[in-house]
Structure 1
Amino acid sequence: MGDDLSGKVAVVTGGASGIGRAIVERFLAEGARVVIGDVDAERGTALAAEYGADAVFLRTDVAEPDQLTALVERAIDAFGGLHVMCNNAGVSGTMHRGFLHDDLADFDRVMRINVRGVMLGTRLAARHMADNGGGSVINLSSIGGIQAGGGVMTYRASKAAVIQFTKSAAIELAYHEVRVNCLAPGNIPTPFLASSASAMSEEQMARYTTAVRAKMREDRPLQREGTPEDVAEAALYLASERSVYVTGTILPIDGGTTAGMAIRRKSRSNGDTPKSGS
């Protein structure tokens, strides 16, 4: 496809499926060598095998500091450096009937993975990058960290924390030529949504995900559906030399959802013109 990342080494956490897989494949297509971290060893091993010597998989739970440390060290040992760190791994919270019914039982787990995992991954990568000419750190948040809303409160709080951390780290690490940016996907069809409804029956989960997707389409200004590949394109930009003057940025990839509610106009016929304010 191209050579935007020729000679670069990247780490992608949560890289075995969904958005993470799309980022891995896009980076590889642009000439990078990639170390994939994920808890799904079967998918991760298969993905690395597809790409031969340019991809390495290491089973990694980002909630475990030693495993995340080993992942970064693997990239440096296997490929001689680290230029791009993509902290993509994350989990959803459990969906409850409402906040008053939320027992917060998953708080520690969500925060360890979604927040501490990102912070630790950033620090580990930046320590190497600071001594080796800089680099790019890309953290994955969500529009749930930008827009307030009901449901999965711990998840929303964790993704908001990623945004604030990204801005703060960008300021501090700029001295070392380490750029830190954040992607905030929204309305991207992946299995991630269903994970928040894991306590539901299969039939309830199907109804839930269908209803949520329909609401997302209704709210989204752009009518086309987003894809993991759309997020991967944004990650490529932030990883490449094209963004050397970009840091501390939060980029929503959401079809305009965070910009405002969609305006749906009826199709006009017979020369009708819209009324003022429509």
Structure 2
Amino acid sequence: MAVRLDGRVAIVTGAGSGIGAAAAIAAAGAGARLVLADIGPCEDTAQAIADLGGEAITVKTDVSRTEEVRSLVEQTVEAYGRLDCAFNNAGVEGKAEFEIHEADEEAWDRALEINLKGMWLSMKHQVPAMIEQGGGSIVNGASVAAMVGFDKNASYVASKHAVMGLTKTAALEYADRNVRVNAVCPGVVRTPFIDRFTQNSPEAEARYTEIIPMGRMADPAEVARAVVWLMAAESSYVTGHGLVLDGGLTCR
């Protein structure tokens, strides 16, 4: 049975590329109406949705700024009358270069501001809209870095561990009001995010894939399908969960 989101309205942050774009397109394909949010352009994602016969609006948003996140939710409700689902995916990778004692304070602050504060602000403004209409489903973008440590990237790992803690806390707080809160925890996914690490070098890509038991990176569409499932009624008894999609990476 196909997972459907017919009649639902979904916000996707970080929708301009990568996993966010793939999730938005998958949600539209499942019948949702989309609000695409990103600090950069989302026109390509919106066009892909239009090509599917779907509906989407774009709202430029910096998730670390309270007023912009508030406006995003307000514009969503104004345009569509409701908010049923959200995929809080906007994030930055941090500087994967230095051990903790050498790490840059500015880079640390930026990773926590976008990856953690931005996640909190998103839920802070999404949850009231969902409660008012009787419920909803939030999916937060975490990472396998929420489950294990990776050397020389403390800010990113710390932020994603915190996202998982925030997800579990929100799940507890809103379970009795029919707002489910979960997270996806992808491993190595072929996106611009990873390209910035590998610089499209075959040798660098090989260093990533050789640690994955399945021997390959994930396609963004594979993560997108998990996001849509967590948004949908098919996962109605799932909350506070971090769904790991890592090709077996964390089994080692």
TM-score when normalising by structure 1: 0.84
Alignment of 1:233 with 2:225, yes or no, is yes
| Aligned equivalent of 1:31 | 31
Measured in 1, the distance between the counterparts of 2:199 and 2:236 equals 43
Offset from partner CA, 1:11-65 (integer Å, 9 cap, x none): 0000010000000000000110000000112xx1343244347100011111111
Q: Which aligned pairs between 1:44-63 and structure 2 lie closer than 5 A?
A: 44-52=42-50, 54-63=55-64
Q: Letter of the aligned partner of 1:21 in structure 2?
A: A
Measured in 2, the distance between the counterparts of 1:96 and 1:30 equals 40
Shift of 1:206: 3.2
8 A Cα contact 1:114 1:158, kept in partner:
yes
TM-score when normalising by structure 2: 0.93
Q: Letter of the aligned partner of 2:6 in structure 1?
A: S
| Aligned equivalent of 1:136 | 137
Alignment of 1:206 with 2:199, yes or no, is yes
Calculate percent identity across the aligned residue pairs: 36
Report the 3-state secondary structure (helix = DSSP H, G, I; strand = E; otherwise coil) of the residue aligned with 1:71.
Answer: helix
Offset from partner CA, 1:92-135 (integer Å, 9 cap, x none): 11232433321222122111110011111112111111121101
Shift of 1:194: 4.3
Report the 3-state secondary structure (helix = DSSP H, G, I; strand = E; otherwise coil) of the residue aligned with 2:238.
Answer: coil
Report the 3-state secondary structure (helix = DSSP H, G, I; strand = E; otherwise coil) of the residue aligned with 1:189.
Answer: coil
8 A Cα contact 1:187 1:213, kept in partner:
no
Measured in 1, the distance between the counterparts of 2:237 and 2:2 equals 21
Alignment of 1:13 with 2:5, yes or no, is no
Report the 3-state secondary structure (helix = DSSP H, G, I; strand = E; otherwise coil) of the residue aligned with 1:187.
Answer: coil
**Correspondence for 1:254 among 243, 246, 249:** 246
| Aligned equivalent of 2:208 | 216
Q: Structure 1 residues 95 and 210, CA, compared in 2 at 3 Å: closer, same or farther?
A: farther
8 A Cα contact 2:17 2:192, kept in partner:
no
Q: Structure 1 residues 251 and 176, CA, compared in 2 at 3 Å: closer, same or farther?
A: same
Higher relative contact order (CA 8 A, sep 6+): 2
8 A Cα contact 2:3 2:228, kept in partner:
no
Q: Structure 1 residues 212 and 166, CA, compared in 2 at 3 Å: closer, same or farther?
A: farther
Structure exhibiting the larger radius of gyration computed from Cα positions: 1
Offset from partner CA, 1:189-221 (integer Å, 9 cap, x none): 1111344x5xxxxxxx638x6454323222212
Report the 3-state secondary structure (helix = DSSP H, G, I; strand = E; otherwise coil) of the residue aligned with 2:27.
Answer: helix
Q: Structure 1 residues 49 and 224, CA, compared in 2 at 3 Å: closer, same or farther?
A: closer
Q: Letter of the aligned partner of 1:145 in structure 2?
A: A
Contiguous gaps of at least 5 residues in structure 1 = 198-204, 261-278
What is the number of equivalent residue pairs in this alignment? Answer: 249
Q: Which aligned pairs between 1:75-224 and structure 2 lie closer than 5 A?
A: 75-195=76-196, 206=199, 210-224=202-216
8 A Cα contact 2:99 2:154, kept in partner:
no
8 A Cα contact 1:104 1:154, kept in partner:
no
Shift of 1:90: 0.2
Contiguous gaps of at least 5 residues in structure 2 = none
Shift of 1:223: 2.7
Report the 3-state secondary structure (helix = DSSP H, G, I; strand = E; otherwise coil) of the residue aligned with 2:244.
Answer: strand
Report the 3-state secondary structure (helix = DSSP H, G, I; strand = E; otherwise coil) of the residue aligned with 1:95.
Answer: coil
